[in-house]
Structure formats: structure tokens, C-alpha cells
DNA sequence: AACTAAAGTGTAATTTTAACACTTCAATAT
DNA sequence: ATATTGAAGTGTTAAAATTACACTTTAGTT
């Protein structure tokens, strides 16, 4: 097996997944109640063990699919957690990923099977091991990224209204925004297609639906454009 | 051994270290010529294998110390590289770190022993495996960080002049900066102590020396201050 | 027909950023 | 001693970006 390298100790490797969703009011996390030791009965992120013939990213994709049924969603590596005592069971290095999903798309049955629940980020229960650290880092990362990259759209349905988008940013940054300035800024980037349809689920008047246009974004980026939202 | 977890395959784990220095003109990388297979004779980052009772960060610290003799320097995790075929020898997951060091401080003997050399980032030789990817990511990260966190000072001597600091930023961003605007911006943050001494190594007139004041920075941060340099 | 509640829209003040050129200083050469 | 040289140091003005702020429109409900 060790063709080239010295016979160092092999390590137990894991991936853990911080899954964000947005329900039009608050940012939520998909957490599971552990049904195995160590930490049985405690809240936890969903994790798994990368197989020997599986890349880290693929492994995180598999874990995410196992819990949500979703594939091809936003998934980014967060950090590798490698403290010796981070897992009381035994030494495990865990590579954490975070994912942004459209909260209406996930597979309810899978989530139920896995004993998982959506919890608001404003009220996160105690988590096993260093999972709280992972969540906090994921939140900081999301906050840093969302102002400079168009990743917020990953948390919204394909079609969304301007008030929805604003409310997402307000949820991410825990801050009220001025709708005139927000709208002006977003539209000035010319990344959204305004649709003819309206969404009337939250007002009599109805709000126009928009759709993020990734092609436009790519084109602008190639010309040196930087996405930015003021929060 | 596997008290709690299923008997998954243990994985071979490594750390690799991207080491940056600045010689008052350009940004440099400390690279080694590999003296072992695979990739013998090729340029490479310095790496190592985390011991079973050693955290990832500690492992990176050890590797860094092994090559430079330095401890307690800026060292940050970059990314965990986990593609199955990234190392042709065998499957190895490598956690890359990057470090910013004061280029005059490193241990010349150790560097010679390790067959390492400083190479300008503008002219990086072919590197083994995915080390070029690591370097590129480290550069992007450095560029992102250096404008919003006072990490540039890690690359300069304790005492430095304003032209030196400017030249560092010009090297990082490959862009000429206006010295009036640069100086104004830096000094407006009130993070530097201006010393009475001058450095005369690069002009007859001599330039005043400054020192970064971490306490002032911490104090400002706690009041909601954000470091920023325009580039 | 009046009411309601959310959507939608523009302007002015302030702050930040960007552009730009001459003076000072001290060592060296004449 | 005087002139020369080359880098250090310093302020102002124009442009752009950000922030603050309030009323009108719409369509369903009463």
C-alpha cells in the first residue's frame, strides 16, 4: 500500500456539512439528532466518511444528497478541523463544507428518515464536538461572501421578488435595509431579469418576480465586474 | 482502535505549506527541490505528515519550523485538497497552509539543508502535483485578505518605512499606487506608531520608520473598525 | 366607495475615492 | 561653499459612491 511514503499513521477522515436554507423570514440550518455514539441524542451536523476512491468534494456531495436528495447545489469547502481531541471518540480530522439550498426543494422523507430538523440560526441548540465552531465559521463565511458574490440567489427560489431578496439580505446580516437603496443597487448591476409575472402571496398588490441571470453575470465578470451589495 | 466508528479506510493525510516573503521589491515563495519520489527533482512546496497525536495546525507549524526555523508567525489554513488522483503515488488528502514571514528572519542553514530557494511569484517554476493550485489559491487569498486585514505587516520587518509598505502593496497587487493617497489612507487608520528614527538605506534624505501597533488595532476592532487599503 | 397593507419610486447631502505636482531634505559631486 | 541629485513628504479639487429620507400606486377587502 505505501508505495512511496513512509508508513505514517493513517488518519480517520470525515466530512461534515453545514446546510443553510431561507424560509422568507429567517436563515435556517438543517441539523440532525444523532442516533449513534459518540454524542447520541445530541444535535449535530450531518457528516460521513470519505471513501478511499472518493474525492473530498464528492464525499460532501454524497452526504448532502443523502440528507436532502439534492445535487448540483451550492457547496463549498469551509475548513478542515484537525484538533487531536475534537472528537472524543477517537482522532478524526473533519473537513467541513457548507451548502446553500432552496428550502422548498429538499426531500422531506429523507430529512424525516435522518431525524433532521430546520433550526433558525438565531436559536441554534448545543451541538456535538466542534460543530458549533463550524456553524459559526460558515455563517461568517456566508456573510463575507454574500456581499461580494451573487450566492444569495442559491437560497431563493428560481423566481423571487425584490422584497424577498431584501428580506434574505436582512436575515443574513441581521440588519434592516432601505428598500430604495437596496433595490437601486441590485438593479444597477443588471444581473436580474424582470418577469411579467407577479407574486401575490404576500400582498394584494403583488410584487414583480425576478430571475438571476448567470450568463449576464459571467459576461460582466469577464469584463472585470465585481458583484457587491451594501449592507 | 475503532471504538465508535465503523472500520472505514484510514486515509493518508498531509500538510503542505505555501511560504511567502517580501524582499522590498517582489513577493517571493520558498520552494524546495524534492529529493524523494514521487516527483523527485521537481519543485514543490514543503510538506509533511501530521502525527497521530498532533493537530493539523501544529503539524503545519512543525513543517514551517523545520524549513525556516520560525515559530509564532502568520500561518493560516488555506484549503484541504482531496481529489483521489492528486498525488500519483497514492491517495493523499493534503491540507494546505500559507504563511507570511519576514524574509530576513529565516534560518539560512535550514533552508540550504532542505534544498529550498526563494522564487518570485512572478516566475514560479512547474510544481509537483496540485501545488500550483495551492500557490494560486494562496495568492488569491493573500490578495483578498491584505486589503481588509492588517496582515501585510507580517511580511515586513518590525520597523518599516512608508515607501516600503507601499511597495509591498504594489507587489501584492501588481499595481502602482499613488503615494499621497496611500499614505493618507494608511495613516488615517491610526494603526502605526511613527518612530523618531529614519531608514537611510534607500535615499539620502532617509524615510521615517513606522511600527504596526497591534494593541491599537485590537482596540479599534472592538469598536467596530474595519481595516481597509484601497488598491 | 373607502380602507388597508405592501410595492414601488427619486432627490439631495454626505462621504469616499481618485487624480494630480511641487517642496523638502541630506548626501554627494563640483 | 555651492550646486546637483534622487527619494521623501505633503494638500486640494473633482468625481463617484453611499446614505438618508417620504410619498404614491395598486388591488384586494370591507
What are the pLDDT digits (tens) for A55-105? 999 999 999 999 999 999 999 999 999 999 999 888 999 999 999 999 999
Shortest alpha-carbon distance between residue B110 and chain A (Å): 22
Burial class (CB within 10 angstroms; exposed 0-12, middle 13-18, buried 19+) of A170: middle
Distance, CA of A96 to CA of A60 (rounded, Å): 8
Residue A110 pLDDT exceeds 80: yes
Shortest alpha-carbon distance between residue B144 and chain A (Å): 11
pLDDT single digits (tens) B115-155? 999 999 999 999 999 999 999 999 999 999 999 999 999 99
User: Residue B38 — very low, low, confident or very high, per pLDDT cuts 50/70/90?
Assistant: confident
pLDDT of residue A4: 67
User: Residue B89 — very low, low, confident or very high, per pLDDT cuts 50/70/90?
Assistant: confident
Total residues found in chain B within this entry: 231
Q: Cell 537611510 appears where?
A: B200
State percent of chain A over pLDDT 90.
90
Average pLDDT, chain B: 95
pLDDT single digits (tens) B163-190? 999 999 999 999 999 999 999 999 999 9
Q: What are the cell numbers at A43?
A: 444535535
Q: What are the cell numbers at B93?
A: 488528502
User: Residue A8 — very low, low, confident or very high, per pLDDT cuts 50/70/90?
Assistant: low
Rounded to whole angstroms, the distance from the CA of residue B225 to the C1' of nucleotide C16 is 16
- Residues from chain B that touch A52, judged by Cβ atoms under 8 A, are 9, 11, 91
pLDDT of residue B90: 87
Distance, CA of B190 to CA of A14 (rounded, Å): 44
At A32, give phi and psi (nearest 5°). -115, 155
pLDDT of residue A40: 87
Shortest alpha-carbon distance between residue B70 and chain A (Å): 21
A184 Cβ contacts chain C strand, under 7 Å:
yes
Distance, CA of A7 to CA of A159 (rounded, Å): 54
Q: In B, what residues contact A, Cβ < 8 A? A: 1-6, 8-13, 36-38, 49-57, 59, 77, 79-84, 89-93, 95
A162 Cβ contacts chain C strand, under 7 Å:
yes
User: Residue A166 — very low, low, confident or very high, per pLDDT cuts 50/70/90?
Assistant: very high
pTM of the complete model:
0.95
Q: Which residue of A has its CA nearest to B79?
A: A79
At A106, give phi and psi (nearest 5°). -70, 160
Per the model's pLDDT, the better-predicted residue between A225 and A1 turns out to be A225
Q: What are the cell numbers at B133?
A: 493550485
Amino acid at each position: 500500500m505505501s508505495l512511496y511514503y513512509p508508513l505514517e499513521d493513517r488518519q480517520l477522515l470525515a466530512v461534515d456539512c453545514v446546510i443553510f436554507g431561507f424560509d422568507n423570514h429567517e436563515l435556517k440550518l438543517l441539523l440532525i439528532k444523532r442516533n449513534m455514539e459518540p454524542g447520541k441524542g445530541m444535535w449535530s451536523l450531518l457528516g460521513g466518511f470519505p471513501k478511499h476512491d472518493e474525492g473530498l468534494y464528492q464525499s460532501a456531495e454524497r452526504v448532502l444528497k443523502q440528507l436532502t436528495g439534492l445535487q448540483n447545489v451550492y457547496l463549498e469547502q469551509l475548513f478542515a478541523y484537525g484538533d487531536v481531541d475534537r472528537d472524543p471518540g477517537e482522532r478524526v480530522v473533519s473537513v467541513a463544507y457548507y451548502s446553500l439550498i432552496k428550502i422548498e426543494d429538499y426531500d422531506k422523507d429523507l430529512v424525516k428518515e435522518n431525524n433532521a430538523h430546520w433550526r433558525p440560526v438565531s436559536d441554534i441548540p448545543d451541538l456535538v464536538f466542534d460543530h458549533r465552531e463550524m456553524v459559526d465559521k460558515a455563517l461568517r463565511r456566508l456573510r463575507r461572501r454574500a456581499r461580494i458574490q451573487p450566492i444569495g440567489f442559491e437560497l431563493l427560489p428560481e423566481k423571487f421578488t425584490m422584497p424577498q431578496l431584501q428580506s434574505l439580505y436582512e436575515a443574513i446580516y441581521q440588519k434592516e435595509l432601505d428598500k430604495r437603496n437596496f433595490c437601486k443597487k441590485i438593479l444597477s448591476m443588471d444581473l436580474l431579469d424582470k418577469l411579467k409575472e407577479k407574486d401575490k402571496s404576500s400582498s394584494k398588490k403583488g410584487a414583480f418576480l425576478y430571475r438571476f441571470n448567470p450568463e449576464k453575470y459571467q459576461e460582466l465578470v469577464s469584463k472585470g465586474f465585481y458583484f457587491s451589495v451594501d449592507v
